[in-house]
Amino acid sequence: MPEPGPRTKPVVVRDLTRRFGDFTAVDSVSFEVEPGEIFGFLGPNGAGKTTTIKMLTGLLAPTEGEGRVAGLDIRAERPSIKRSIGYMSQRFSLYTDLTVDENIELFGGLYGVFGDRLTRRRDWILGMAELEHAGDHLTEALPLGWKQRLALGCALIHEPPILFLDEPTSGVDPIARRRFWDLIDQLSRTGTTVFVSTHYMEEAEYCHRLALLNRGRLIALDRPAALRLRIVEPILRVDTDDAPRAVEALAGLPGVLDAAMFGRALHVTVDDPDRGASIIRTTLGAVGADVRGIAPIEPSLEDVFVSLIRAEGGAVVG
């Protein structure tokens, strides 16, 4: 792999592999991340997302393969990588028994930010997190959305060029998630590269590119709009009064490729829309499920996600 230079990409990995005994958690994964990109990492539980992030952030050594993060070798320069990036896990990495100011000071010390620079970064963090008047408040008493933004600020206190976010909005309400993604967009616009894993499909829409992992392997990598074009089979939205029974009744029928619940409705992938609609009405009528409407729809990212995972043999169970 070439030595880092002024045009080095923030993240470059080749054939990245991690095994735990006989189990392969990450299997020969390769990709590159562009400067200032919001790079989304998707996959079901057990797909290998967190293991990959741990290798990229210097927390775990790869079994095979190679890579560079911020121009640093993920094998030989792991301590330097930790100091050169920002990292925020789904647990926010805060000390809840400390005040807001004490958390900021602690993370400043960990990353070598002192004096006037620490004062400037503290002011930025408090403004970004809307905590200007809460510096002396205990972190554990903060609403979850504010706690989340404080954790983001602490991860950025040393102004790293690359930020890793591992499911950072897990458990946060939709309004707080939207505010958080506004901040991510602002960071990207000012040149920060953001590598983020998420299981919220609406969040995936905000990413510039998406990588989809399943069973440790990279099965898709492209822009959200391009990924949606991979779905060529018609998808029908079915409104019914008993979605669980409808999914069970439609499973495995000729002409029905997939049926899944989306909220209170169903998304049913069929080989022909007219024939599929007829099969759906007849089948659901026979089991006593009222059909309130059937209409063709454009595939969502969640439809793409389900389709690609299904084509690869499904997700890991258990």
pLDDT at 125 over 90: yes
Query: Residue 6: what pLDDT?
Result: 41
Instruction: List, in sequence order, every residue forming a beta bridge with 246; answer none if it has no partner.
Output: none
Q: Over range 293-302, report the average pLDDT.
A: 92
pLDDT at 109 over 70: yes
Query: Which pair of structure tokens corresponds to residue 67?
Result: 């890579």
Question: Is-same-fold flag (11-227; 232-298)?
Answer: no
- pLDDT tens per residue, range 192-248: 999 999 878 888 999 999 999 999 999 999 999 999 988 888 999 999 999 999 999
- pLDDT tens per residue, range 44-76: 888 999 999 999 999 999 999 999 999 999 999
Query: Which pair of structure tokens corresponds to residue 149?
Result: 């933004």
Cβ-based burial of 99 (10 A; exposed 0-12, middle 13-18, buried ≥19): middle
CATH architecture of residue range(s) 11-227? 3-Layer(aba) Sandwich (3.40)
Which candidate, 275, 253, 267, places its Cα nearest to that of 306? 267
More confident residue, 120 or 317: 120
pLDDT at 317 over 70: no
In which element (H, E) is residue 55 found? helix 49-56
* DSSP letter (8 states) at residue 188: H
Instruction: List, in sequence order, every residue forming a beta bridge with 269; answer none if it has no partner.
Output: 235, 258
The domain made up of 232-298 is a member of CATH 3.30.70.100: yes
Query: Residue 22: what pLDDT?
Result: 95
State the amino acid at position 159 in one-letter form.
E
Domain ranges, ordered by start, for the chain: 11-227, 232-298
Confidence of residue 318 (pLDDT cuts 50, 70, 90): low
Q: What's the start-to-end Cα distance of the chain, in Å? A: 37
Q: Over range 141-167, report the average pLDDT.
A: 93
pTM, rounded to two decimals: 0.86
